[in-house]
Amino acid sequence: MSFKYFAEKVTDNHYVLPKIADMKCDVHAYLSEKLYQLSEDEMWDQAMAGASYDGVTGVYIMPDCHTGFSVPIGSVIVTDKTIIQASVGYDVSCGILIQKVNLSADALRSRYNRERLITEIEKRVASGVGSNRPKLMPAFTESKLEEIFRFGAKALGFNSDVCERAFLPVSNKFDSKKIPKAYEKALPQLGSSGSNNHFSCEVQIDKNDGSVWAMTHCGSRGLGYQLSEYFFYEGAKIRNLASNRRGLSWLYDDEALGREYTDYHNAAANYAIANRFVIASSIQEALQEVYGATAEVFYDISHNLFQKETLVLPDGSTKEGYVHRKGATRAMPAKHPDLIGTKWFDSGHPCLIAGSIKTGAAILKPLPAAHDTACSVNHGSGRALARGKAKKSLAHKQDYIDADMHDISQNFNGVTIDGIVTASKHIPLDECDESYKALDDVLSVLTENGIAEITHRLYPVLNVKG
């Protein structure tokens, strides 16, 4: 029987899987009754396994959770001295950057101009598998790449006022070329986005105030994948795991491989952060070309990372721990010790949540109850159908799904905009609205638990996806 059925409902939006078997702590799952029923048995079994690693002190399941690679997507695992590689995964520092666009909703009525914007973005940003560079995609030198590995967004002139962290520390022992398969991907893919749920750009509008936003979603590309694969294999060796069980490997922070992984993880995170800022600059150029509009980075945040953070305990005391977020987003509320020195200390930093290609996204503000989740929220709405199942089970609805996206009419503070313009002839079935849980159902768990509040609920009018 799945561990799902050992979970106890403690409030309308909170379940607890008590410590059993080899678990080091309880698992706290923030789910409504509806989302609990939708959760897979395997996800709960992975959550139990996540709580059974050496050194785990806390496990938190977010409302967008679903089965992942060894640990659930939408999970937060806190440890003392251990690093759980699966709780970062292959796309190190996959995350979201959002820009505020100096346009009104009325300017986006024209479908023709939105299609022009897609064309201009595709001239500047490669997306999908591989590394073919569009004509106007920016080029970088190897020396600049080395600077980015160590200093992330800071290497491009940005600071922590506009990102979760401008960069993560990398030691002098880091050798960028040690893993050739990873290094060779870095330079040609800098400034590009991936495939699957990644998009180069989604232009969104707040239905309440008509403000316009441009969101980017991508990570460390082939660099992150290759170095993660390398360390999964190396970790399996020292933990005496068969190679086909490498996803279960973990590291001590003070052993040689743990220190080396931390360097490569942080370098890949810095690369991913910079990658989003490079894409943002290209989107700014495209907006200027089509609309004569400017855009300014509002915030950047990752959702596949482990970081040492200050944990605020129920009695008000603090301690440090490694917070691993796999498909989960940092959410530090006002006065959090780790926000000292940033512009967000008095308010809490923004959280960026991407939903489906149809139902949009949200910007959240963390609230005090975020301390109950190790200062974490979900990163999206969460899959309702696995990719393969979506492609197979929804194939007969392709024409309907395409027409629905083409014909949808949305009202933004009195301005009606018809259609969500996309870069593909057909809407990818594994990315359509029916493949995801309802974003508002997921967000309501956070708001009803006092974990976060919604400051902007955003709906798409344009999507450029790999």
Domain contains 452: yes
Q: Tokens in use for 258?
A: 């743990």
Pairing outcome for strands 8-11 and 14-17: antiparallel
Chain centre to alpha carbon of residue 292:
30
Instruction: Tell me phi and psi for residue 66, to 5 degrees.
Output: -160, 170
Count CA atoms closer than 13 A to 13's CA, side-chain side. 16
- Reading across the β-sheet that carries 304-312, which strands appear in turn? 8-11, 14-17, 27-29, 56-66, 73-79, 318-326, 304-312
Q: Which of 387, 381, 370 is nearest to 327 (CA)?
A: 381
Q: Is 295 exposed, middle or buried (0-12, 13-18, 19+ CB in 10 A)?
A: buried
How far is Cα of residue 213 from the mean position of the Cα atoms in its chain? 17
Are 200 and 124 a contacting pair, CB within 8 Å? no
For position 139, what pLDDT does the model report? Answer: 87
> 46: helix, coil or strand?
helix
pLDDT at residue 131, rounded to an integer: 54
- Residue ranges of E strands in 127-279: 199-206, 211-218, 250-252
Identify the pLDDT of residue 137. 84
pLDDT at 130: 61
- Examine residue 112 and state whether it is found in any structural domain, yes or no: yes
Q: Is residue 291 included in any domain, yes or no?
A: yes
Look at the alpha carbons of 425, 429, 431, 437 in this order and tell me if their dihedral is positive or negative: positive
Would residue 130 count as lying in a domain? Answer: yes
Contact 348/366 with Cβ under 8 angstroms? yes
Q: What is the pLDDT of residue 148?
A: 98
In a domain, 263, yes or no: yes
Going by the DSSP 8-state scheme, the letter that residue 396 receives in this structure is G
Query: Which phi and psi (to 5°) does residue 80 adopt?
Result: -90, -60
Angle at the Cα of 342 from the Cα atoms of 341 and 347, rounded to 5 degrees: 120
Write out the residue range of the structural domain in which residue 200 sits.
Answer: 97-301+333-465
354: β partners:
361, 380
Residue 24 included in any domain: no
User: What is the CATH classification number for the domain harbouring 228?
Assistant: 3.90.1860.10
Residue 114 CA to residue 45 CA, distance in Å, equals 44
Domain count within the chain = 1
**pTM, two decimal places:** 0.96
Do residues 293 and 119 touch, judged by C-beta distance below 8 A? no
Is residue 301 a contact partner of residue 351, using CB atoms and an 8 Å limit?
A: yes
Q: Residue 270: what pLDDT?
A: 98
Q: Is residue 43 part of a domain?
A: no
29 domain-assigned: no
Please give the chain's pLDDT, 466 residues, in tens.
Answer: 789 999 999 999 999 999 999 999 999 999 999 999 999 999 999 999 999 999 999 999 999 999 999 999 999 999 999 999 999 999 999 999 999 999 999 999 999 999 999 999 999 998 876 656 787 888 899 999 999 999 999 999 998 899 999 999 999 999 999 999 999 999 999 999 977 667 889 999 999 999 999 999 999 999 999 999 999 999 999 999 999 999 999 999 999 999 999 999 999 999 999 999 999 999 999 999 999 999 999 999 999 999 999 999 888 899 999 999 999 999 999 999 999 999 999 999 999 999 999 999 999 999 999 999 999 999 999 999 999 999 999 999 999 999 999 999 999 999 999 999 998 889 999 889 999 999 999 999 999 999 999 999 999 999 998 6
Pairwise CA distance, residues 59 & 43, whole Å: 13
